Amino acid sequence: MMDLSTTYMGIELRNPLVHSASPLAEDLDNIRRMEDEGVAAIVMHSLFEEQLRQETRELYYHLTHGTESYAESLSYFPEPEAYSLGPEEYLEHIQAAKSVVSIPIIGSLNGHSAGGWTDYAKRIEQAGADALELNIYFLPTHPGVTGAEIEDTHLEILKSVKTSVSIPVAVKVSPFFSAMANMAKKMDDAGADGLVLFNRFYQPDIDLENLEVIPNVLLSTPQAMRLPLRWIAILYGHVKASLAATSGIHTAQDVLKMLMAGASVTMLCSVLLMSGIGTIKTVLEDMRVWMEKNEYDSIHLMQGSMSHRRCENPSAFERANYMRALTQYR
Partner 1 sequence: MRASETRLQDEEVRRTMRRKRVTIDGNEAAAYVAHKTNEVIAIYPITPSSPMGELSDAWSSGGRPNIWGTIPHVVEMQSEGGASGAVHGALQTGALTTTFTSSQGLLLMIPNMFKIAGELTPTVFHIAARTVATHALSIFGDHSDVMAARTTGFAFLASASIQEVMDFALIAQAASLEARVPFLHFFDGFRMSHETSKIEQLSDEDMLAMLDEELIMSHRARALSPDHPVLRGSAQNPDVFFQARETVNPYYAACADIVQKVMDKFARVVGREYKLFDYFGAPDAERVIAIMTSGGEAVHEAVNDLVDRGEKVGVVKVRLYRPFSTHHFLSAIPKSVRVIAALDRTKEPGSAGEPLYMDVVNAFVEGGAEAGFKTAPRIIGGRYGLSSKEFTSAMAKGVFDEMKKESPKNHFTIGIEDDATGTSLDYDPDYSTEADDVIRSVFYGLGSDGTVSANKNSIKIIGEGTDNFAQGYFVYDSRKAGSVTISHLRFGPRLIRSTYLVSKANFVGCHQFVFLEKYDVLEPLVEGGTFLLNSPHGPDEVWDRLPRQVQEQMIEKKVRFFVIDAYKIARETGMGVIINTIMQTCFFAISGVLPKDEAIAAIKDSILKTYGGKGEDIVNMNFNSVDRALENLHEVPYPDKATSKIEIPPTVPEEAPDFVREVTARIIAGKGDDIPVSKMPIDGTFPLGTTKWEKRNIALEIPVWDEKVCIQCGKCSMVCPHGTIRFKVYDSKCLDGAPATFKSTDARDKEWKGLKYTLQVAPEDCTGCGLCVDVCPAKNKAETRLKAINMQPQAQLREPESENWEFFLELPEMDRNNVKMNVRQSQVFEPLFEFSGACAGCGETPYVKLLTQLFGDRAIIANATGCSSIYGGNLPATPYAANKEGRGPAWSNSLFEDNAEFGFGFRLAIDKHAEFATELAKKLKSELGSELVDGLVNAEQKDEAGIYEQRQRVAKLKEKLKTIDSREARQLESVADMLLKKSVWVLGGDGWAFDIGFGGLDHVLASGRNVNVLVLDTGVYSNTGGQMSKATPRAAVAKFAAGGKPTPRKDLGMIAMTYGSVYVAQVAMGAKDEHTLKAFLEAEAYDGPSLIIAYSHCIAHGINMTMGMHNQKAAVQSGAWPLYRYNPDLAAEGKNPLVLDSAAPKIPLEEYMYRENRFKMLTKSNPREAKRLLKIAKQEVMARWKLYEHMASMTYGSDSDQDGG
Window of 73-81, 194-202, 234-242, 270-278 that interacts with partner 1 by CB under 8 A? 73-81
Cα separation, 38 vs 277, whole angstroms: 10
Cα distance between residue 125 and residue 33, in whole Å? 24
Name the strand (E) or helix (H) holding 12.
strand 11-13
Minimal distance, residue 160 CB to partner 1, in Å = 18
Q: For partner 1, which stretch binds (CB under 8 A), given 15-23, 78-86, 214-222, 288-296? A: 78-86
Per rule CB under 8 A, is residue 297 in the interface with partner 1? no
The residue (of 56 and 321) whose beta carbon lies closer to partner 1 is 56
We find the least distance from the C-beta atom of residue 89 to partner 1, in angstroms, to be 5
**Judged by CB, which is closer to partner 1: 72, or 312?**
72
Q: Taking the complex as a whole, how short is the minimal distance between the CB of residue 240 and partner 1, in angstroms?
A: 36
Q: Which stretch binds partner 1 (CB under 8 A): 65-73, 143-151, 192-200, 294-302?
A: 65-73
Among 36, 57, 126, 226, binds partner 1 (CB under 8 A): 57
Q: Which of 7, 28, 33, 85 binds partner 1 (CB under 8 A)?
A: 85
**Of 5, 56, 146, 321, which one interacts with partner 1 (CB under 8 A)?**
56
Name all contacts of 38-41 with Cβ < 8 Å and 24+ positions apart. Answer: 38/14, 38/280, 38/281, 38/284, 39/103, 39/268, 39/280, 40/6, 40/13, 40/14, 40/15, 40/16, 40/103, 40/104, 40/265, 41/8, 41/11, 41/13, 41/103, 41/104, 41/105, 41/106, 41/130, 41/265
Crossing angle of the two packed helices 279-293 and 28-37, in degrees rounded to 10: 20
Footprint of partner 1 (CB under 8 A) = 52-53, 55-86, 89, 211-212
